[in-house]
Structure 1
């Protein structure tokens, strides 16, 4: 089959059909991995600052949730668009554009005078992070064959671990310093600027040119449907009753928009954001379901760990950051080790299944915590969870990329990232609503038990623990401690569903070349030995 025409590559750039050497790949990866570090840092550096931010800006538990959900939602809905654009335009230019958008959002967030402005700025940040998250994986997939990709996925896992462990530590130190929480939004800017110029110097890829058909209608319907349902989940039980006219209206509108989105993607769009034909492939269909479940379980539960350590255990932001080392250490080790073993053997399913089993066990162990649980035990539970996540996240994308042609690799990678982020947005929003309700109920009953009438107080607010009298502080610590164990318990069934989906995926040996034939989307791959 003839190759599509490409623009002239810069001098010294690798040709489209000539494999890049390990050194050339590492040079190109330098800017990409720094961009990935920026994307991860944007979330982790703020995590330990959130209790302080929400307290300073007079926000509620719902506001706490939406500072996180705003970024996740923007990242979710923009990821497939970035993936589609990567099949149409210069990948380097798109990564640099995503970095610029991230910088703008960070500056707006740093100067936000209210929760509403901060949430809006986080939406802008999320648009940039969505581009960085999707495009880095697409570019690596373009440069490296599936068989070798595990090796470089290990590097991505290491960067992810560095940002995840370094972010909370840096953020905690900054919050406790004279810079305050606003300084957290400036941390990533120098890295973003360096990544921009490093990409300009080191990343040289041929640009595939073909007619542009952006599915704006599909993107709008997907955004509207997901956003409406998330608004309902986060506000129900607080702003209005679960069984109410507002609930019926929001659910009906959200479902209607998503049904319309499915119709547009299947029947109307020339180049759909989410090609329905992908889901005829068993691997992609199962990986998509697993991605949603992983997103719900992972993001929905772990995003509130910092709040647990600061409110239920009385830690400073810096101390809360140190507590994340156990989980990220496990993630760091397992991502590198499994990546290298996959490259050496060509086998990937055993690591996915084993990783998800560790995720299930880790979440089940964390569901037992309260405000009195040994910190050493909690660290051990987080280590188990980290080991599972490191073996799962990147390798699930690898399994999908191995099943599609190069022309679809951007869209396919983005679809997996989209559904994982969507699951994360749903998990954060839904579990945040559960946390808010559970804490409010426990605080009200706890205060009543010590003779304090809480009927006139805002039980959904996030308190400044240092300003509370000792009896009230103990009530809040106990309420938050008990509620967090419930969050992890709710996350366990979602992880179990992901484990079942991963176990049902049929393993196809990794291709040793990007030009090698792949199983068509509608066919069932035949088993083969490596």
Structure 2
């Protein structure tokens, strides 16, 4: 296959498409992906002020993030499976509509409860957009050529993640805009993307009315994961580790997930294809993705909070300070993508990326409220490089092993486990951070001769409303406690290192479908 030619194949078609046509189709796909990712990153830096403005707590801060990830995670396998059965273009349009509704609702929220609810709706659309964009790209381009186009994908990820925090900080600091525009800002991009997709994405519809979607399996998976995450969020806070609540929630989650596995092993069209994820390389790729997701989402989501609350910077300054990590994603994803396409070897990029990611988190685990910013920047850059080299290439490992008619379900599966890892990571690390901060604040207030709770430092993120001595106690507590969650992230990432080392050193195929299989269904 030449450098300027690829195959636009899939359940929807099998015509050859040149490089320019692929780029035209990618324009709409990458624009809508940019909008989805921007809506997440633009909020990250602004969240401390958003929650403070709505008089929310640290637990609610975590749930604003967790609700989006949970909704995205629970729905991802369904979207992936639907992409194998129905029109990908129609599904994209539906997911854009869901995303718009969630964004508008979040922007007009009057309480943290409303914000969490609409962030969940937004998460449904975001989960759909993330997996559907990957599925459509995979249906157009062979795994080997896809490494090259993953550079564009990585560029969009980097620009949205770099621009998001900066834009979020600017919006929050400009009084005539306000934090609500953090949710409105992605809407113009969705409009542009809708028109671009209507003009450039021409796919033949697939009708498979005889096939039923496995809603039972999807519901059991969503219920089991949700119950597990609820337990992680509330344990050691609302109730003890050894309590009847823990027993009920953990047992319930295990039963629900066990029932989901039983259902998935028996239905003809499972949401998560067990026969795929049980194979060596797909299973290892999923384990590595889950670990990378836990480490990346769980650790990176609290960086904005560290810079603003732990170090006292404004939202705009906090956004600027996260640029080393985002620059690392941009450079490494582009370079690694081109190397993978040139050599056809994906394992070296994955292994190197996860090792660098682990080292980056180890570096960040040493930070406190007085760590030089240069040292923090080096750790963030290493994390960004690791993510850029490993995340999309782990998807390639799995997609390289499945036939075209299972591409959606397989892509949905690895995206599901990566999002699951991120959701668990945010919940676990958020709970660890909240408990550590609470302990340090109590100790700090005791040294000042203030009774714990009297200063209000443990129950609110509205730092400006606190007395000056209490502000200092809270800032020090957050600055010193953040390093502990990065140490946990490094330990989690180590699991990804082990899984990636065990991958088979396979060569990516040049065909869209597995050799010997028909392109069309």
Interval containing the TM-score (normalised by the shorter chain): over 0.9
**Offset at 1:441?**
0.4
Offset of residue 456 of structure 1: 4.7
What's 2:6 paired with? none
Of 487, 492, 495, which residue of structure 2 is paired with 1:494? Answer: 492
2:502 to 480, 501, 504: 504
How far residue 14 of structure 1 moved from its aligned partner, in angstroms, is 12
SS at match of 1:20: strand
Q: Is the 8 A contact 2:220 2:257 kept in 1?
A: yes
Match of 1:300 in 2: 298
In structure 2, stretches of 5+ residues that fail to align are: 1-9
1:167 aligns with 2:164: yes
Q: Within 5 A, what are the aligned runs for 1:17-56? A: 17-56=14-53
Task: Using the TM superposition, give the Cα deviation of residue 492 of structure 1 relative to its aligned residue in structure 2, in angstroms.
Answer: 1.1
- Larger CA deviation: 248-257 vs 98-107: 248-257
| 1:281, distance to aligned residue in structure 2 (A) | 1.3
In the TM superposition, 1:242-257 aligns within 5 A as 242-257=241-256
> What per-residue deviation string (whole Å, max 9, x for no partner) do you get for residues 405-464 of structure 1?
001111111110000000000000011011110000000011101111114565542332
Structure 2 CA distance, aligned partners of 1:14 and 1:179? 45
C-alpha offsets along residues 174-227 of structure 1, whole Å, 9 cap, x if unaligned?
111122111111000000111011100000122333233111111111111111
SS, match of residue 181 in structure 1: coil
**1:279 and 1:200 mapped to 2: Cα distance?**
34
How far 1:518 sits from its partner (Å)? 7.8
For residues 137-216 of structure 1, what are the structure 2 equivalents within 5 Å? 137-177=134-174, 178-210=176-208, 211-216=210-215
Distance in 2 of aligned mates of 1:248 and 1:297: 27
Instruction: Tell me, yes or no, if the aligned pair for 2:58 and 2:461 is still in contact at 8 Å.
Output: no
State the distance in 2 between where 1:69 and 1:457 align.
28
Separation in structure 2 between the aligned mates of residue 515 and residue 240 of structure 1, nearest angstrom: 51
Q: What CA deviation, in whole Å up to 9, does each residue of 1:461-507 have, x standing for no partner? A: 23322233332122111111111000000111110110110110102
After TM superposition, list the pairs within 5 Å mapping 1:114-513 onto structure 2: 114-177=111-174, 178-210=176-208, 211-267=210-266, 269-456=267-454, 460-513=458-511
Give per-residue Cα distances to partners, 1:344-371, cap 9 Å, x unaligned. 1111110000001100100000000000
Task: State which drifts further: 276-285 or 129-138.
Answer: 276-285
On the 8 A contact 1:158/1:336 being kept in 2, the answer is: yes
- Please tell me the root mean square deviation across aligned C-alpha atoms, in Å: 1.6
Note the C-alpha offset of 1:343: 0.9
Write out per-residue CA displacement over residues 305-361 of structure 1, whole angstroms, 9 at most, x where no aligned residue: 000000000011111110111000011000001101111111111000000110010
2:12 touches 2:206 (CA, 8 Å); kept in 1?
A: no
2:60 aligned partner: 63
**What is the TM-score of this pair, normalised by structure 1?**
0.93
Pairing partner for 2:80 from 76, 80, 83: 83
Distance in 2 of aligned mates of 1:204 and 1:262 = 36
Distance 1:398 1:476, change over 3 A: same
CA contact (8 A) 2:56 2:461 kept: no
With 56-65 and 158-167 compared, the bigger mean Cα shift is at: 56-65
Q: Give 5+ residue unaligned stretches, structure 1.
A: 1-12, 520-530
> Which of 100, 104, 110 is 1:103 aligned to?
100
Aligned residues: 506
